[in-house]
């Protein structure tokens, strides 16, 4: 019985770790997208945070809903604790440039 419980626990752990895809943190995305708004690339460290930010898309009746996409991207960036304090202007700038970008 103990062996079966350990096997089940191990299978659960391995099963959960396999398909999970790590999403960049909202703060990483905010920093990288702010840099992108200023014309900087951020280098290889920003590829995933930028890609994750731009992958946030909302659809309505099978078509990209630019307004809802912009709102969802803003909500994601606002999950960064610094976004609402000193970086609110950065969030606005990023959303104005890239919020509704396809």
Give yes or no for residue 30 having a pLDDT over 80. yes
pLDDT at 96: 97
pLDDT at 42: 84
Give yes or no for residue 1 having a pLDDT over 90. no
Which sequence spans correspond to the domains of the chain? 22-98
Residue 27 in contact with residue 37, Cβ under 8 Å? no
Interval 63-90 mean pLDDT:
91
Interval 81-98 mean pLDDT:
87
pLDDT at 14: 45
- pTM for this entry: 0.75
């Amino acid at each position: 019985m103990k062996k079966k419980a350990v096997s089940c626990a191990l299978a659960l752990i391995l099963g959960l770790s396999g398909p999970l895809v790590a999403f960049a943190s909202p703060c990483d995305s905010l920093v990288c997208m702010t840099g992108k708004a200023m014309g900087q690339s951020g280098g290889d460290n920003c590829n995933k945070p930028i890609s994750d930010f731009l992958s946030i898309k909302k659809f309505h009746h099978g078509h990209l809903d630019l307004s809802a996409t912009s709102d969802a991207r803003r909500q994601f960036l606002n999950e960064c604790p610094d976004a609402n304090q000193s970086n609110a202007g950065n969030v606005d700038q990023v959303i104005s440039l890239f919020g509704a970008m396809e």
